[in-house]
Structure 1
Amino acid sequence: MELKKNPKANVGRNSSLYFAVGLNVMLLLTYIGLEHKTYETEGTKIDLLMLDEQFDEDIPITTINLPPPPPPKQVVTQAITIVEDVVDVEETVIESTEIGQDDVIEDQVVSVEDVEVEEVEEDIQVPFAVIERVPQFPGCKGNNDELRACFQAKMQEHLQKNFRYPDAAAELNIQGRVFVFFLIDKHGNVTKIKSRGPDQLLETEAERIMSLLPKMIPGKQRNKSVGVPYSIPINFKLRQQ
Structure 2
Amino acid sequence: MSEKVTILLAEDEPALGQIIRDSLETRNFKVLLCEDGEIALKKYKENDPKLLVLDVMMPKKDGFTLAKEIRKENNEIPIIFLTAKSQTKDVVEGFTIGGNDYVKKPFSIEELIVRINSLLQRTNLQKTAEIINLGLYTFDFRRQILQYKTEKELQLTHREAHLLFNLYKNKNEVLDRSVILKKLWGTDDIFSSRSMDVFITKLRKKLNQDPAIQILNVRGYGYKLVC
TM-score of the aligned structures, taking structure 2 as reference length: 0.21
Greater gyration radius: 1
Q: Which has the higher strand share?
A: 2
Q: Which has the higher helix share?
A: 2
